[in-house]
Amino acid sequence: MEFWSSRGRYDVRQAGADAGGSGAAAVWSVAVDSNGVSRWFGEYLDVFAACGRGESDTASLLGYYGVPLLLTTSGGFFALTSDDQVVAAVQQQVDGMRAAAYSRSEILDSEVSVLNSTSAFYRGTFSRQRSDGSEISRLTATYLVTDGAAGRRISVLAVHGP
């Protein structure tokens, strides 16, 4: 059941029994907007970069990736249905970044398309760089950013082909 107010969306979902015994749990969500998604994505990139430099554990990215996470690349399509699967998939990228002496990612181009009050596409082209500014790789990806009970999360990651 969903209700609207001036503060945002109020969603009542069946979640077993709450303290009052009614069996309903309430979730508040403020509508997704492009500036908020861009700021949130910048925070995600900071955490991702810290993982790539070896300053943070890859599991810290679970605060940004949804589970399940749908991942599509030129190598295939994967439905990652557990925290361990998401971390293992991202760990492969992080290991390669560390081996290449990764320092940071520069956003070369980005666009946010709000789909509805709970989701938006973030499309970006990124340059992964070493500390001397030399480029390791360049990629374009589209992310479906959703806002649910756990907060904002990347629910779909689609890496564009070369």
Q: pTM of the full predicted structure?
A: 0.81
Span(s) in the chain for CATH 3.10.450.50: 33-159
Residues 18-50: pLDDT tens digits? Answer: 444 444 444 545 688 999 999 999 999 999 999
Choose the CATH number for 33-159 among 1.10.3720.10, 1.10.10.10, 3.10.450.50, 3.40.50.10490: 3.10.450.50
Q: How far apart are CA 162 and CA 150, in angstroms?
A: 33
CB 78 within 8 Å of CB 89: yes
Residues 47-98: pLDDT tens digits? Answer: 999 999 999 999 999 999 999 999 999 999 999 999 999 999 999 999 999 9
Backbone angles phi, psi at 125, to 5 degrees: -115, 130
**DSSP-based three-state secondary structure for 116:** strand
16 pLDDT higher than 70: no
Distance between start and end Cα atoms, the chain: 43
Mean pLDDT of all residues in 98-105: 96
Cβ-Cβ contacts under 8 Å for 54 (sequence gap 6 or more): 98
